[in-house]
């Protein structure tokens, strides 16, 4: 059996952000319709938690596909030539279990995470939202800027990170890339003040956004913290917001922003207003007024990787392009 090998540059070429946003919308509809199998991801931590290996399996009925993302997570890579998230997505068909493709997970993760936030912003942010704040200057900050520019008519962009040099480099590079002025802020509060849309894409363990800073009508995409002990938003921010998640089970077990506030006794499970897919299917109500603050807590789900890989595989197969490698999979013939 031949499998398609897709490298980092090819993923970016074959999975443009706008297409990925459409794919993610359909993916979350499938999740809400009960057409997926999605176990909680096991994570193996290295000594002293310097890094981790995450394993994310999934099955999608409508695609007749199953798969697994294996991802190393090394937050200490920030500021080095290496991405904090590296690995591979394995795509299998679900009739005979044949391996169809092996794809770079760094690029898929970067694009699909921002694309999901883009869909959430389309459905939860005010229609007139135009002032964007991004906290963080890494890969997710870059892709989230791209997604937000597609989701709303952004006229102002402010960016903050703990490293002033990284912030300056980011603003100069992204201003040139998108033809829009990206401003560098000295504090997170300055970046968030009066923002209509806030994307938190940091590696912080402690809050970088406080509830007192949020203006009425804002929408937040909280992306960076993905383990129970880390959060980017304080309890006040959680309480002021109508909370939506990618999946309840994942949020209840993995979302530190929610779990820490819950452990403080500030809120309970009913604070979750719905899943993104439920909004898309009309099973949950999204924004109900121009004044309320909405919050989308994103943890990243294996179905996002699986659907992205399937989309890339289908396009490249139809075009007859790519690198195909014989990996086996057929039963060896019996020897006479």
How do residues 37-65 score in pLDDT, each as one tens digit?
Answer: 999 999 999 998 899 999 999 999 999 99
| pLDDT of the residue at 335 | 60
> Is a pLDDT exceeding 60 seen at residue 334?
no
Summary mean pLDDT of the chain: 95
Q: What's the whole-number mean pLDDT along residues 129-149?
A: 97
Are residues 3 and 327 in contact, defined by beta-carbon separation less than 8 angstroms?
yes
| pLDDT of the residue at 149 | 98
For residue 177, the tally of other CB atoms under 10 A from its CB is 12
Upper half-sphere CA count for residue 45 (Cβ side, 13 Å): 6
Q: Which two tokens stand for residue 208?
A: 């970088």
Class of domain 127-297: alpha beta
Cα distances (angstroms) measured from residue 150 to each of 12, 122, 139, 144: 16, 9, 17, 10
Q: For the segment 166-212, what is each residue's pLDDT rounded down to a tens digit?
A: 999 999 999 999 999 999 999 999 999 999 999 999 989 999 999 99
Q: Pairing mode, if any, of strands 323-326 and 2-6?
A: antiparallel
CATH code of 2-108+302-326, in short, is 3.30.1780.10
Q: What's the whole-number mean pLDDT along residues 22-49?
A: 95
Same fold, 2-108+302-326 and 127-297: no
| pLDDT of the residue at 329 | 74
Are residues 121 and 219 in contact, defined by beta-carbon separation less than 8 angstroms?
yes
> Is a pLDDT exceeding 90 seen at residue 117?
yes
Domain ranges of the chain: 2-108+302-326, 127-297
| pLDDT of the residue at 85 | 83
- CA–CA gap between residue 316 and residue 293 (Å, rounded): 41
3-state secondary structure of 291: coil
Q: For the segment 88-101, what is each residue's pLDDT rounded down to a tens digit?
A: 999 999 999 999 99
> Is a pLDDT exceeding 90 seen at residue 331?
no
pLDDT tier, 336 (very low <50, low <70, confident <90, very high otherwise): low
Percentage with pLDDT > 90 across the chain:
90
- CA–CA gap between residue 24 and residue 30 (Å, rounded): 10
> Is a pLDDT exceeding 90 seen at residue 330?
no
Q: Which ranges in 125-196 belong to alpha helices (H)?
A: 139-151, 164-178, 188-192
- The sign one gets for the Cα dihedral 182, 187, 192, 194 is negative
| pLDDT of the residue at 284 | 97
> Is a pLDDT exceeding 70 seen at residue 83?
yes
For residue 273, the tally of other CB atoms under 10 A from its CB is 18
Upper half-sphere CA count for residue 83 (Cβ side, 13 Å): 17
Residue 195 CA to its chain's centroid (Å)? 21
> Is a pLDDT exceeding 80 seen at residue 144?
yes
Residue 231 CA to its chain's centroid (Å)? 15
Q: What's the whole-number mean pLDDT along residues 266-278?
A: 98
Q: What's the whole-number mean pLDDT along residues 15-37?
A: 98
For residue 80, the tally of other CB atoms under 10 A from its CB is 9
Q: What's the whole-number mean pLDDT along residues 271-286?
A: 98
> Is a pLDDT exceeding 70 seen at residue 72?
yes
């Amino acid at each position: 059996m031949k499998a398609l090998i897709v490298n980092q540059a090819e993923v970016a070429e074959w999975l443009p952000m706008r297409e990925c946003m459409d794919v993610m919308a359909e993916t979350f509809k499938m999740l809400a319709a009960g057409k997926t199998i999605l176990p909680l991801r096991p994570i193996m931590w290295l000594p002293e938690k310097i890094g981790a290996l995450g394993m994310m399996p999934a099955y999608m009925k409508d695609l007749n596909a199953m798969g697994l993302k294996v991802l190393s997570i090394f937050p200490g890579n920030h500021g080095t030539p290496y991405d904090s998230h590296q690995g591979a997505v394995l795509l299998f068909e679900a009739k005979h279990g044949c391996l169809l493709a092996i794809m770079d997970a760094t690029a898929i993760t970067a694009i699909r995470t921002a694309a999901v936030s883009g869909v959430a912003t389309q459905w939860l942010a005010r229609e007139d939202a135009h002032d964007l704040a991004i906290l963080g200057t890494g890969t997710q900050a870059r892709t989230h800027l791209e997604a937000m520019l597609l989701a709303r008519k952004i006229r102002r962009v402010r960016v903050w990170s703990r490293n002033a040099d990284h912030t300056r480099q980011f603003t100069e590079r992204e201003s040139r890339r998108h033809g829009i002025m990206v401003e560098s802020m000295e504090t997170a509060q300055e970046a968030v003040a009066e923002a209509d849309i806030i994307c938190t894409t940091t590696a912080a363990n402690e809050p970088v956004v406080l509830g007192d800073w949020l203006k009425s009508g804002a929408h937040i995409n909280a992306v960076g913290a993905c383990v129970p002990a880390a959060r980017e938003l304080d309890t006040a921010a959680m309480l002021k917001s109508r909370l939506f998640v990618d999946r309840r089970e994942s949020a209840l077990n993995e979302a530190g922003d929610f779990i820490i506030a819950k452990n403080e006794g500030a809120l309970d499970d009913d604070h979750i207003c719905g899943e993104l897919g439920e909004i898309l299917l009309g099973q949950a109500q999204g924004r109900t007024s121009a004044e309320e603050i909405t919050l989308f807590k994103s943890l990243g789900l294996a179905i996002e990787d699986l659907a992205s890989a399937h989309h890339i595989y289908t396009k490249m197969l139809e075009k007859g392009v790519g690198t195909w490698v014989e990996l086996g999979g057929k039963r060896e013939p019996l020897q006479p």
